[in-house]
Amino acid sequence: MRSFVIFGWRLAALGLLSLFGLLGLTAGCGKVSAPVQLYFIGSPRFVAGNRPPLSQPDTLATRLYATLDTANASSLRRFTATVTYTSPRAPFAYPNPLSFFTYSGATEPITYLDTLLAPGRRQLLYTQVFGTRTTAGSERWVFVATDNNGNSSSRAFTLALRRSDSLNVYHDYTLNLNTSLPGAAARRFVQLSAGLALPASAVVPTKPTDTSVAQQNLTDLVIAADGSRLLAPSMARLGTRWTARLRATDLVLTQLRGDSALTDLRDTLAIRQQFVGPPLKQTPVLAVRQVYAFRTDDRPRPTYGLILVQALPRGTTQGLRLRVVVGKQPR
């Protein structure tokens, strides 16, 4: 059996006859093309269809199984996973009075995975663990398996998040980051204003695309592969796959400690006032309860925020957990 992992996603070629007896396969959204068959695996643990609106950001997982009809002599060639965010991912400060506000929605697609499979493969098991958006809106995930003859099958689901605090001048969220993967695959690329931590396959794929370069332009922070440090993109040694501008995020270790220290810091001035001292482009080894202030080089004005280290990677079950508070920018 051969398997490989990409940022929390395990892909494997398996004999799956016993799997059918243990887990139900859910058709979900989309139409099955007879030569290629793609199924959601139904389980309380896995997302296999649209969900009611979430009340808070969450970490979810989905699993799919692709196979070829017995009459199809071809092999699986390509598998893709994309997500489209409806309304901007980064929240913004509303004007006062609110009657001055006008808004035009937009969709923001991201290619999470676009991989060519090994020749001769006829089965694929794909598991994806992902954090949902941290801002109000929806995200639509689409998965497509294609064979060498161009036949394809797709599955999709839509998730929505509703927040009752959209008028706040700050945005807060928690990032739960899996660091159990080998090597550079465990790095995460964080867009601090949006609260998104993207995998390498979305930001630095083998062959850069317009969407991957767009994510590079929005990346404020890179998490080290072992989850021990935070780095500005300009310090992360990202190589030739990075073709966009390297954002020069600054970090400062504050005197604040623990969750309670962030309780009263709920306006942009109080958050900004914590950014005092010599700025760092990368942190020393992180410690639990530390609070770092950050400043990103957004234009025309920088964005300020705070990062609390709530938990460090431990074994294979716990990753890096960061609590983030960001001052919103006016639109």
Grade residue 6 by pLDDT with cuts at 50, 70 and 90: very low
SS percent in the chain: helix, strand, coil, step 5? 10, 45, 45
What proportion of the chain, given as a percentage, has pLDDT over 90? 53
Instruction: Examine the pLDDT at 5 and tell me if it is beyond 50.
Output: no
pLDDT in tens, 164-176: 887 788 889 999 9
Which has the higher per-residue pLDDT, 104 or 254?
Answer: 254
**Helix/strand/coil for 240:** helix
- pLDDT of 106: 59
Catalogue all structural domains in the chain, each as residue range(s) with its CATH number.
1-166 (2.60.40), 168-331 (no CATH)
For residue 173, the surrounding DSSP H or E stretch is: strand 170-177
- pLDDT of 287: 96
The average pLDDT across 322-331 equals 88
Which of 30-39, 85-94, 186-195 shows the lowest mean pLDDT across its residues? 85-94
pLDDT in tens, 184-230: 667 899 999 989 999 898 999 988 888 899 999 999 999 998 889 99
CB atoms within 10 A of CB 49: 15
Instruction: Examine the pLDDT at 25 and tell me if it is beyond 70.
Output: no
Mean pLDDT over each residue of the chain, to the nearest integer: 83
pLDDT in tens, 254-297: 999 999 988 888 888 999 999 999 999 999 999 999 999 999 98
- pLDDT of 236: 85
CB atoms within 10 A of CB 216: 23
